[in-house]
């Protein structure tokens, strides 16, 4: 595997897990007043489109990491909706 492929895989992993600390914090505290739902809507659209792009290009690292990101960020948006006052 080439260095560029490893960099791409690592970038995908880091961007995929980036939402996890926020999800865990909201899950535990049930507080979302300072979390931007608009940012998560835009982010979900972006990673979803990256997933579609990966499907078109048949690039599995892009499909997998952005597909998981779409799911995780959708969970975060659901928590924002659930706990918003």
**pLDDT tens readout for residues 29-62:** 999 988 899 999 999 999 999 999 999 999 988 9
Report the topology of domain 3-83.
Monooxygenase (1.20.1280)
If one compares 84 and 85, the residue with the highest pLDDT of the two is 84
pLDDT for the residue 3 = 93
Domain map (residue ranges) of the chain: 3-83
User: In sequence order, which ranges of 1-85 are alpha helices (DSSP H)?
Assistant: 3-17, 20-29, 37-57, 60-83
pTM of the shown model: 0.87
- Can you tell me the distance from the alpha carbon of 15 to that of 11, in angstroms, rounded to the nearest whole number? 6
Does the pLDDT at position 74 exceed 90?
Answer: yes
pLDDT for the residue 85 = 77
């Amino acid at each position: 595997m080439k260095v560029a492929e490893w960099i791409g895989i690592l970038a995908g992993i880091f961007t995929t897990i980036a939402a996890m600390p926020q999800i865990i914090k909201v899950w535990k505290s049930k507080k979302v007043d300072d979390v931007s739902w608009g940012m998560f809507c835009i982010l979900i659209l972006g990673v979803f489109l990256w997933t579609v792009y990966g499907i078109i290009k048949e690039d599995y690292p892009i499909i997998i990491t952005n597909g998981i990101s779409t799911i995780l960020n959708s969970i975060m948006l659901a928590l924002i909706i659930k706990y918003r006052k």
